[in-house]
C-alpha cells in the first residue's frame, strides 16, 4: 500500500532530517515493503537514499526562470527529487490554483516522468448539494489530467475533512472510492483527518490503496504505526 505524509508548512530542515531518518530506521527494522512518501516543506527538501521517497509539495512548471517565490526542476534535481504533490486542496482553495494551472503543472511533471500524487476532493457545500453535483465537481478536477499515466497516484481528500477531525463515514469513503476507481485504475489514497484511531479501518476498505496523512503524520511514531497497519493488511 502507499502511505504518504504531507508535512505542510511544518518541520524545519533539521527536524525533517530527524523525521526522515527515524522513519527510514523504522522501515528497515520492520522490513517494510510499503511505498512510503514524505512531502516536506520546500526549504526542508534534501537528498535521501533509502526506502522513504521524498517528494515536493509544490514546484513551478519550469526548469528555472523569473517566477519569484517558486522553485523549479533544477531545485528538485539538486536533491534527486522525482515525486510531486499536485492539486492539493490548500493550493486550490487557499492559494487559488485553477484547474487549468494544475493541469499545466501535471503535464509538465508527467513529461519529466515524475511520480505524481494528484489530489481531488469536494468542499462541504458541494457534498451537501447532492451526489450528482458532487460527482460533476470531482469530474471537473480530472480535466486535463492523464488518468492513465503510469506514475500517477490519486488522493481523494474531501476539503471539509482536511485538518478538521471530520471524516466521511467508512461506507461513504468506500462507495466514493469505488466510483473514482471507474475513472482511473491508478492507486487511490484516502486523505482527510486520518489518524491513528481510524487509519486501520480506512486502510481496510475496498478501493483504498493507501492514505495521505497531514496533521497526524507529524508524529513520526503515529505515522510509522499506520505503515504497520498497511503491512498487516497485506493488500
Ligand atoms: C492533507 O493535508 O493532505 C491532509 C489530509 O491533512 P489532514 O490529515 O491533517 O487532514
| Boundaries of every domain in the chain | 2-233
Q: Which of 90, 97, 122, 157 is catalytic?
A: 157
Residue 106 in this model has a pLDDT that exceeds 90: yes
**pLDDT value, residue 153:** 99
Among the atoms of ligand 1, which is closest to the Cα of residue 8?
2
Residue 68 in this model has a pLDDT that exceeds 80: yes
- Please provide the DSSP assignment of the chain as one string: -EEEEE-TT---HHHHHHHHHHHHHHHHHTT--SEEEEE--GGG-----SSSEE-BS---SSSSSS-TT---HHHHHTTT--EEEES-HIIIIIS---HHHHHHHHHHHHHTT-EEEEEE---HHHHHT-HHHHHHHHHHTTTT--TT-TTEEEEE--GGGTTTS----HHHHHHHHHHHHTT--S-EEEESS--HHHHHHHHTSTT--EEEESGGGGSHHHHHHHHHHHHHHT-
**pTM over 0.95, yes/no:** yes
Question: Quick one: average pLDDT of 107-125?
Answer: 98
For residue 19, report the distance from its CA to the centre of ligand 1, in Å: 18
Tell me the CATH number for domain 2-233: 3.20.20.70
Whose CA is closest to atom 2 on ligand 1? 214
Express as a percent the part of the chain with pLDDT over 70: 100
Residue 209 in this model has a pLDDT that exceeds 90: yes
pLDDT tens digits along 24-53: 999 999 999 999 999 999 999 999 999 999
* Residue list, ligand 1 pocket, CB within 6 Å: 6, 8, 157, 162-163, 191-194, 212-216
State yes or no: is 88 an active-site residue. Answer: yes
**pLDDT value, residue 234:** 82
**pLDDT value, residue 235:** 75
**pLDDT value, residue 152:** 98
pLDDT tens digits along 128-171: 999 999 999 999 999 999 999 999 999 999 999 999 999 999 99
Residue 118 in this model has a pLDDT that exceeds 90: yes
Confidence of residue 88 (pLDDT cuts 50, 70, 90): very high
Amino acid at each position: 500500500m502507499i502511505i504518504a505524509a504531507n508535512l505542510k508548512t511544518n518541520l524545519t530542515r533539521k527536524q525533517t532530517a530527524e523525521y526522515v531518518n527515524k522513519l527510514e530506521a523504522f522501515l528497515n527494522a520492520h522490513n517494510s515493503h510499503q511505498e512510503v512518501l514524505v512531502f516536506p516543506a520546500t526549504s526542508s527538501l534534501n537528498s535521501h537514499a533509502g526506502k522513504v521517497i521524498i517528494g515536493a509539495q509544490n514546484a513551478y512548471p519550469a526548469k528555472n526562470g523569473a517566477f519569484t517565490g517558486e522553485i523549479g526542476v533544477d531545485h528538485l534535481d539538486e536533491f534527486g527529487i522525482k515525486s510531486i504533490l499536485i492539486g492539493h486542496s490548500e493550493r486550490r482553495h487557499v492559494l487559488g490554483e485553477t484547474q487549468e494551472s494544475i493541469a499545466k503543472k501535471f503535464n509538465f511533471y508527467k513529461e519529466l516522468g515524475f511520480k505524481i500524487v494528484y489530489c481531488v476532493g469536494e468542499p462541504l457545500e458541494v457534498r451537501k448539494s447532492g451526489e450528482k453535483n458532487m460527482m460533476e465537481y470531482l469530474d471537473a478536477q480530472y480535466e486535463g489530467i492523464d488518468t492513465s499515466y503510469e506514475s500517477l497516484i490519486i488522493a481523494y481528500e474531501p476539503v471539509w475533512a482536511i485538518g478538521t477531525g471530520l471524516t466521511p463515514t467508512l461506507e461513504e469513503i468506500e462507495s466514493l472510492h469505488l466510483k473514482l476507481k471507474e475513472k482511473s485504475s491508478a492507486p487511490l489514497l484516502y486523505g482527510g483527518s486520518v489518524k491513528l484511531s481510524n487509519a486501520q479501518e480506512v486502510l481496510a476498505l475496498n478501493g483504498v490503496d493507501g492514505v495521505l496523512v497531514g496533521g497526524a503524520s507529524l508524529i513520526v511514531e503515529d505515522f510509522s504505526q499506520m505503515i504497520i497497519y498497511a503491512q498487516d493488511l497485506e493488500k
